[in-house]
Structure 1
Amino acid sequence: QNREKIVTTITYDSIFVYETDFLTPAITLIIGDYEQKSVEVDDAVFSIWNIKGNDYFSELFNSIVDTIPSQIRERRRAIEMNYSLDYSFNRFSIIEVPVQFYSYIRTWTQAQEVMQPEMVLFPEKGSLMNEADVESNIRNEKTWAQRGGREVSDEDAAIRTLNRFMYLFERTQSNFDWSQERGAVNITTTSNPFFLFPQLYNFRYNVFSSEWPVSNRLIELYLQDKTDDSNQIRQMNGISNNEKANLLMEQYPFKELLSNMEHRDLLDNITSLKGSYLFAPAEHNIGSGEYRDSLRAVLERNIFSNLRFEYLLDTLGVIADLDLHTPLKEWNNPTNLPFYTLWTPEVTQITNRDKEVYVVKQQITNDSDYDGMVDVEVNFRGGQSNIYDPREKRKVSIKAHETVNLVSVWDEAPRNININTLISENLPASINLPINDIVRERNKPIDEERDYIVGNVTYETLGEVIVDNEDSTLFMLSEPDVVGLLPQWLDRVGDDSFRYSGVSPWRPPLQWTLTTHDKYYGAHIRSAYVIKNGSGNQTATWKIPVEVAGQYDLFYWVYKPDELRRGRGGRRGRRGSGRGDAEYHFKVKYDEHEENAYIDLQQSEEGWSELGSYFFSNDTVVVVLSNDTKLRVVTADAVKIVKR
């Protein structure tokens, strides 16, 4: 049977032709009843596309319409300068999408679905973002100013609100997510899906490798030069994500960690550390800034095209006179972690006639069996100058069991030296060493600037014995008071994948909790046990071996808790509120004697503080610290004896 052929003719009211100015990895089609509000800034069009009827913000920004272009220009320049990458597109649009639109965190890229070339897909009426609540934020700016005794005009409040909104696109992380369990604190963050870095990198460059698919993510993180968790997060968590990543890399190969779902939240930290360590020798050879500029130049020659990772390593290896392929073989094995001793920096002010300089000496010892690399940054008050100086931040290579003395000469005194041990066993991995004591001398030769290899280094001081909380044979804790079945069950199911936990200064843990801090004592691991104050039922005990009888001074390592740093003298929060409000109580047991000893943390400086002087026979001295104090928290760290 013959069937009649049916032809359907479709008539289009309009035909839209979309052509990109550049090659693009994706095309996004969004259809809706939109309104466009745009402004042209430096030959680029910046737009907001909102659904009709959803414009809740324009009227609130009417007073600063003429100021908005300059604010956009300033934010764009800040982002481009921060990463030394340009925004290549001629348009940038924030487009309103339904509130249920969701994007997922990806393993191999920072770009999520809300970030598309030239555009950001933003939730309806900004309903999920506090930064988009324009009316409330303007009102809050005025309220906060009034509380501080200041007046803020409508225009200033609107500008601050606009900048707060634009900063949303510069943040790498989301807001903090707090959790607490019996005094142990944990702060987590997730990637900010609205972070604009993909517009500068992911939609312009692509580094690929069949063997290492993570290569593009590695370069992406390396170019961001992102520091680890903020100092607040690190102190609250007791261990940073980079430090957790180090401990994992010591146990598992990089390839295995890339597919490890249990620790997927640490994958960026692991990848970033691997990238930094891969390129650290190259930075050491030609300088950190110079090497990163070379990498950006190679990428720029391959803009909007695919660049093979192996070719990139070949090119960068020639520039840095280095083999960058061999280290990749180690990615198939667990990582050997070096560990370092960081000595106190020495600064000498030398005045010769009309010339005055500061000679800085920083000694670092690699105590491990593995070669290592550290990052050394010398910081000044307000910055040394506007001129780039490669000496201020550089990589230093230290061989196994080697001590280097870094000697540098400056026109002004440094404020501090920050040493990041990168991939290492050190906790914290990054230590800030303040410059406190400056020796002043006149008419003295100025040391030559270079890295000296130091031989015959010893840590031992004659007649001195130190016992730290990390010494499991000479340090012990009382058993916790656990009452009821629920606490016992929580102990069994608690996350013990990492030894160190965070503690809350305003709600300390009810049992001894191990944490780390750069102001604690420790050769490689600066840790201490922390517990809430109590009746004296919880104790920490140090056993100090005495080999030679004699007169000894006994010291305890003092760390001042936050309540004293804020000028508080006790739980009531008043300075000097009463005798003994800031005391720790000790018992010193020796030669069948037992004596009480005290340290007033309010009066003591941080570091070694004397408990008393005693005559010890060649036996064992026992020092016991109790939780009987009016301070909120007790810290058990290290003790030492020094023979007179």
Structure 2
Amino acid sequence: MNLHQLWLITRYSFTEIWRNKTFRVAFMVLIPLLIAYQVSFQSDMFNIPVEYTLVLSSFIPTQNAYMFNLLLVFPLATMGFWVHKQKKYNTLEALLVHPQGNDTYSTGFILGIIIAFMIMGSISLALAGLINLFASPTSFRPLIYLFYLVTLILPTIVFIVGITSFLAARCFKNGTVTTFFMLVYLSVDILFLSTLYHGLFDPLGILLPYTFSDFTGIADLPGFLLHRTTFLLLGIGFITLAISGLPRIPNKINGRQRAACSGILALFVGLLAGFITYNHHEQVERRHALYESVYEKHDSPNKINIIAHDIRFTYQQKEARVESRVSLYNPTGITLSEIILYLNPSLEVTSIQENLSPVPFTREAQAIVISRPVSPGDSLALDIQYQGTIDEGICYLYIPKQQKEFDIDNRHYLSCRFGHRYAFLEKDYTLLTPECLWYPITSPPVNPAHPYNTPCDFTRYTLTINHPTRLTAISQGSRHGIASGTRFENEHPQRNISLCIGKYEKREITVDSVTYELYMSKNNFEVLTSIDQQLTSLSDKIRDVKETIEYEKKSSYLFNRLRLVETPVTFTSHYHPATGGSEMIQPEMVLCPERGIGILNGRIRAFAQKRLRFEISNWIEPFERSLYWELNNEHILTSWEEGPLSHLKLGTTWHYESTYNIYNFNPLFFNYINYIYSHKYPTINNLLNQIVKRPWENRDPNVAPPDSQQKALDYLNGKSYQAALSDKTLSFEIINQINELKANDLLSQIILKGTSATDFHLFVQDFMKNNRFRQVNFQTFDHAFSENFRWHLSEIFPKYFDRQELPAFQVKNFRIKRILSPTEEEEDPWTPHTKFRIEFDVLNQSDVDGVITMHLGTAIYKAGPDRRVDRMLYTPRTFSVKAREAKKIIFICPHPVVSHSIYTGLSKNRPNIFDIHDKTITLEKGMESTRDSIAGEESISPAIFFPPANEIIVDNEDDNFQITNPPAPWLKRFLGLNHNHHTHSSTAVSHWEYTLMPDCFGEYCLSCLRKRTGKGESSLTWTTPINKKGKYKIYAYIPNISYSHERSRHMITQEPIRDIQYCYSISYNNREKKIKVHVPETSRWVVIGEFFLPEGECSVKLYDIGLPRQWVVGDAIKWVYQKP
């Protein structure tokens, strides 16, 4: 092949492509679009809030390369026209001669196309680099831009040009057909293929994590390069086969055959690379199954304990050499025939010795089986030597695959995916957590058979690390420098320890005998520029936060230090049901994400330097509140994208839900302090911690429950708690919600037995204080409980674990009245000592007994004349309501009541927690007063909970209710956008959608349907038989959702509040009458009209007709017979 002629053809092809209108339009649209997007979301030109400015140095090039790679495919698909242009020949073909052979001409022609698009990509990345340099606080790393150009964009261009050329040369005779086929293929790839099997079939690499961490680079660099090499080779193979199929004379004997063979060879090598990727994922799945089976095989309630563990870790490049001396103790009452230890499968055990004598052992994956009997109460010490790398596949086996992929998929900044790493053992960085089994243990961090029953040893650890002086070692315990490195000694027995080694710098501050240490990369300390301005008050702020958390937890922070360690953004941890947290929060150590990315939300949030630097007075207080909320709550409101394009991470459609918080500090006060173990009741430790770590006095009942709680309630309505614990089909979120519901139910049962929540909480706190850093058997706890309260907690467990039916409650006639003292009059203002009389009626319309709770938010005032509120207490009052029982409940509240809610807990009620109001209180009248301070319960007639005989009510939950939705457009059906799902009340969609709200009408399910106004093609229909002819008034129950939305629209747009009307039609006796009804400001029954109805069927229909952007809401219809 003549290189000079190849260069001439390449230049000619490049010039022709660059002058083409299609290419120019693509260039003029794509480049400005990308730059406008990045200027808006990734620069500080507009003082964009925190989550878009202070980011990693790789975020700007990653986002640019991702979007360019995604949008590039559509202009590339039109290259079929160019190939057909070169392929076409007619009677003038003899005149179109040229000295180049087919290989030279076609290769140069295709190279020109590739170079043209590569230059476009280079320009796009160069402009992104300018944003990085002049409009972003992040550092500029030019090699990252070059890396993405070569590894991400180039393979995409080569593959699409190759397959387009192949189809044009070998399959289709028309350029339009080729282009149409490619557009369909690429659309299918973006929508579906990219989400299949880790992106193995996706040439664009949409799901690949290729964000660079400043610590460790890309999460899976070999996997990324192998994927891109696969499609690069496939593209080259298709190009070569396309060249062999063009009609020109090859100028060589067997030239076409050689080209075909070269193309087939390239395709084979590309497919082989793809198979290696496929086989890697298959091996990971097989190892997961093997590790789970090994855990289940050796699962036993009788385990030996490690009481002391001395570890000597020698740091080497990408490998560890470790010596462990473990002191073992048999706490069981039986002789253990063998010792079972667990260690990472990739760490090879070279020797095990007892008293300098070798001990025989066998190895099965992560299990080390030592055939050495141990009598009850006996102790022994083993010296274990092992070395090797870390297999991250052993981590988080208890997390279902779907949940793990969901968690990982939502770790991103815009479209920059982080990927996941569970451990690091690399040249200049090491991060090993207990989950990866980097040292021998007897109680593994996971129990696949019973994920919530994971016993643990409390071990006194000593860790010695041999490492270069340029690196810093970090772990739990007191730190001591030695000649070869660092030594850590723990003052308390710990459940486990971690190890981190890297190029860190340290800052520390001591507040009230607790030392707070911060370890960060030197380059990232700039994040703290504005915090440094607050150093004079930092001690006070730390003290205030600590005291507030300890007060609310009713527990003290027991450790002498807290180390905050910056970790790579690619490091991943998941919520662990056994600890109630994640490995981001460990005893004495908090693993913080790189540069703070993601710590304030499930989505990625960082903090802007500009806001920190210039607006610190306005920003620091809400930051502190947000940080406090993040550290102090087990759940956070997180958001993710949903819909068929959600995997593109372009921010098109967001869904919000409460999820588990991996930065929750609760385990530091509870789960890491002790453990209550029971083989018979596997979740007892989890249940007790759920109750104690969120005391009833401090629990806000108005926090919206997650959507998964609804599914948990549905599951328990017909199945027992015991069945749920052994049901492996339940998702991780649902089983966690079941545990939370059962924890609340357990406390209610305890209260009904005569033990107050406060007394129970104090007992558990005292028990934990007396058994700190120990694993305790439940029998010991139950015995102490019975000595304190004169009954056994285990008495209620048989019914508690086996009950399958749920109660159903109706609550009516809520009243709250101020109690006047003998010297007070109604006109006198109330004082902080004013008491209140609260009463309500309740009916349990099920066949099982139930428990209902009134949550009262009461104000506790500071001493002094200014009557300032000191704190809020959320106090529960729990009442038993037997099956089919109706009663009036009256009780006295000794403090001013600010809020009041009904919590039905484990019941058929939807929602199971809601505010309730005294409807007799108005602005004009105010609250009623009384001198009656007598509390009690009395039976009442159930009839008051049902409509009178002359009324017929049809609710949207009844059988006589019908929804009419027109079929969605074919494109929406194809994309899967016509599905129904529950959303928050702040949104309305184009189809009827169920919503749970306390203001809705219903017996025990308070729901309605809502949608945006349409063309009248959608409707709701309520139908009832009329058995007695006569005059009827027809009412519609209209919740205030529509008016609330209109009021919100008025506040945002300043447009006047419109007169909202609903369009109803009444059908009876083959007649139909349409009526418009004004929507009220408050939820209530509204008269539709009065009609003389004959015997037969009568229907009321609500149409989706109304004003633009109006909501239409349907709930219940009532027919009231009017006496003559």
1:108 equivalenced with 2:595 (yes/no)? no
* Corresponding position: 1:250 with 2:717: yes
Match for 1:588: what amino acid?
I
Task: Give deviations 1:550-590, integer Å, cap 9, x for gaps.
Answer: 33322111112266355268999666565xx5110011223
1:289 corresponds to which residue?
758
Secondary structure of 2:524's partner? coil
Structure 2: tracts of 5 or more residues without a match: 1-465, 468-481, 645-651, 826-834
Q: Does 1:605 align with 2:1082?
A: yes
- CA distance in 2 between partners of 1:55 and 1:305 (Å): 38
Match of 1:210 in 2: 679
The counterpart of 1:617, out of the listed 1067, 1083, 1094, is 1094
Output the amino acid matched with 1:329: P
Larger deviation, residues 22-31 vs 157-166:
157-166
Deviations along 1:498-546, one digit per CA (max 9) or x if unpaired, are xx6226644x333322232111110011112223311111111112333
Match of 1:470 among 954, 957, 982: 957
Judging changes above 3 Å, is the alpha-carbon distance between structure 1 residues 414 and 120 closer, same or farther for their aligned structure 2 residues?
Answer: closer
Does structure 1 residue 313 correspond to structure 2 residue 794? no
Structure 1 residues 446, 389: CA separation in 2 closer, same or farther (over 3 Å shift)?
farther
Whole-angstrom CA distance in 2 between matches of 1:168 and 1:137: 21
What SS does the aligned partner of 2:813 have? coil
Structure 1 match to 2:689 = 220
Q: Is the 8 A contact 1:64 1:155 kept in 2?
A: no
Give the match for residue 177 of structure 1: 639
In the aligned structure 1, how far is the partner of 2:856 from the partner of 2:628? 32
Aligned length: 611
Counterparts in 2 of 1:455 and 1:155: CA distance versus 1, 3 Å: closer
Distance, in Å, in 1 between the alignment partners of 2:587 and 2:839 is: 49
Shift of 1:485: 7.1
Match in the other structure for 1:274: 742
Following the alignment from structure 1 to structure 2, what is the Cα–Cα distance between the partners of residues 643 and 141? 70
Q: Secondary structure at the match of 1:355?
A: coil
Q: Decide whether aligned partners of structure 1 residues 489 and 250 sit closer, same or farther in structure 2, where only a CA change above 3 A counts.
A: farther
1:138–1:89 distance in 2 versus 1, CA, 3 Å: farther
Inter-CA distance 57–486: structure 2 relative to 1 (3 Å threshold): closer
Partner residue in 2 for 1:453: 939
Q: CA separation in 1, counterparts of 2:985 and 2:818?
A: 41
Note closer, same or farther for the CA distance 1:452–1:141 as it changes in structure 2 (3 Å cut).
farther
Q: CA deviation at 1:249?
A: 1.8
**Aligned residue for 1:6?**
none
Q: Distance in 1 between matches of 2:927 and 2:1044?
A: 36
CA distance in 1, matches of 2:736, 2:1065: 47
Q: Displacement of 1:222 after TM fit? A: 1.9
- Matching residue's letter, 1:437: T
Paired position in structure 2 for 1:49: 519
Report the CA distance shift for 1:625/1:82 in structure 2 as closer, same or farther (over 3 A).
same
Q: C-alpha displacement at 1:405, in angstroms?
A: 1.3
1:54-83 deviations in whole A, cap 9, x for unaligned? 322343223211100000011111111112
User: Do 1:563 and 1:569's aligned partners in 2 also have CA atoms closer than 8 Å?
Assistant: no
CA distance in structure 1 between the partners assigned to 2:819 and 2:659 by the alignment: 49
Report the CA distance between 1:632 and its aligned residue. 2.8
Change (3 A) 1:223 1:448: same
The secondary structure found in structure 1 opposite 2:632 is coil
Letter in 2 for 1:378: L
Could you say what secondary structure the match of 1:521 adopts?
Answer: coil
Paired residue type of 1:325: S
Q: For the structure 1 residues 514 and 202, does the alpha-carbon distance in structure 2 shift closer, same or farther, using more than 3 Å as the test?
A: same
Give the whole-Å Cα distance in 1 for the aligned partners of 2:1006 and 2:887: 21
Change (3 A) 1:639 1:185: farther
Deviation at 1:178, TM superposition (A): 3.6
Pairing 1:376–2:854 present = yes
- Which deviations, in whole Å up to 9, do the C-alpha atoms of 1:471-496 show, x marking residues without a partner? 11x2212253234276178499x6x9
Partners of 1:95 and 1:121 within 8 A in 2:
yes
Task: Please give the secondary structure, in 2, of the residue aligned with 1:274.
Answer: helix
Alignment of 1:379-394 (within 5 A): 379=857, 392-394=875-877
Whole-angstrom CA distance in 2 between matches of 1:391 and 1:51? 43
1:124-164 deviation digits (Å, cap 9, x = unpaired): 3334446898761661796xxxxxxxxx6x45645654564
User: Measured at CA, do residues 573 and 558 of structure 1 come closer, stay the same or move farther in structure 2, by a change above 3 Å?
Assistant: farther
With over 3 angstroms needed to count, the CA separation of the structure-2 counterparts of 1:316 and 1:335, relative to structure 1, is: farther
2:804 to 321, 328, 335: 335
- The structure-2 alpha-carbon separation of the partners of 1:260 and 1:159, relative to structure 1 and needing over 3 Å to count, comes to same
DSSP-derived class of the 2:848 partner? coil
Partner of 1:73: 543
Report the alpha carbon displacement of residue 466 of structure 1 after superposing the two structures with TM: 0.8
- Residues 1:308 and 1:514: Cα distance change in structure 2 (over 3 Å): same
Q: Secondary structure at the match of 1:554?
A: strand
- Matched residue, 1:403: 886
In 1, the alpha carbon distance for the partners of 2:801 and 2:857 equals 37
Name the Cα RMSD after superposition. Answer: 3.8
Query: Do the aligned partners of 1:533 and 1:632 also contact (CA within 8 Å) in 2?
Result: yes
Aligned CA distance change for structure 1 residues 410 and 20 (closer, same or farther; 3 Å): closer
Aligned with 2:669 (options 194, 200, 208)? 200
Q: 1:265 corresponds to which residue?
A: 733
Q: How far has the Cα of 1:326 moved from its partner?
A: 3.9
Secondary structure, counterpart of 1:434 in structure 2: coil
Paired amino acid for 2:717: E
Once residues 52 and 413 of structure 1 are traced to their aligned partners in structure 2, the CA distance between those partners, rounded to angstroms, is: 53
The partner residue of 2:1034 within 554, 571, 581 is 554
In structure 1, C-alpha distance between the alignment counterparts of 2:641 and 2:702, rounded to whole Å: 18
Match of 1:512 among 992, 1002, 1017: 992
The one-letter code sitting in structure 1 at the alignment partner of 2:564 is I
Secondary structure, counterpart of 1:56 in structure 2: helix
Q: Is the 8 A contact 1:379 1:392 kept in 2?
A: yes
Cα distance, 1:107–1:389 mapped onto 2, change above 3 Å: closer
1:17–1:577 distance in 2 versus 1, CA, 3 Å: closer
Asked whether the 8 Å contact 2:955–2:1002 carries over to 1, the reply is yes
Moved more, 264-273 or 332-341: 332-341
Correspondence for 1:5 = none
Any conservation in 1 of the 2:695–2:761 contact (CA below 8 Å)?
no
Q: Distance in 1 between matches of 2:700 and 2:710?
A: 10
Do the aligned partners of residues 270 and 582 (structure 1) sit closer, same or farther apart at CA in structure 2, a change above 3 Å counting?
A: same
Indicate the SS of the match to 1:524. Answer: coil
CA distance in 2 between partners of 1:85 and 1:70 (Å): 20
Q: SS at the partner of 1:169?
A: helix
Instruction: Judge which range, 368-377 or 543-552, deviates more.
Output: 543-552
Range that drifts further, 563-572 or 344-353: 563-572
Distance in 2 of aligned mates of 1:478 and 1:394: 43
- Could you say if the C-alpha distance between residues 443 and 136 of structure 1 is closer, same or farther in structure 2, counting changes exceeding 3 Å? closer
Secondary structure (helix, strand or coil) at the match of 2:527 reads: coil
Whether the 8 Å CA contact 2:812–2:840 is kept in 1: the answer is: yes
CA displacement, residues 159-218 of structure 1 (integer Å, 9 cap, x when unaligned):
654564455422423551244559998433442222111111122111111233332222
The equivalences for 1:22-171 within 5 A come to 22-129=492-599, 136=608, 139=611, 154=616, 157-158=619-620, 161=623, 164-165=626-627, 167-171=629-633
Q: Distance in 2 between matches of 1:126 and 1:380?
A: 37
Rounded to whole Å, the distance in 2 between the matches of 1:557 and 1:614 is: 18
- In the TM superposition, what is the alpha-carbon distance from 1:340 to its structure 2 partner? 0.5
Residue in structure 2 matched with residue 586 of structure 1 by the alignment: 1064
Most deviating of 24-33 and 404-413: 404-413
Task: Give the letter aligned to residue 45 of structure 1.
Answer: T
Q: Structure 2-normalised TM-score? A: 0.50
- Residues 47, 92 of structure 1: 8 Å contact kept: yes
**Cα distance change on mapping 1:254 and 1:123 into 2, 3 Å:** same
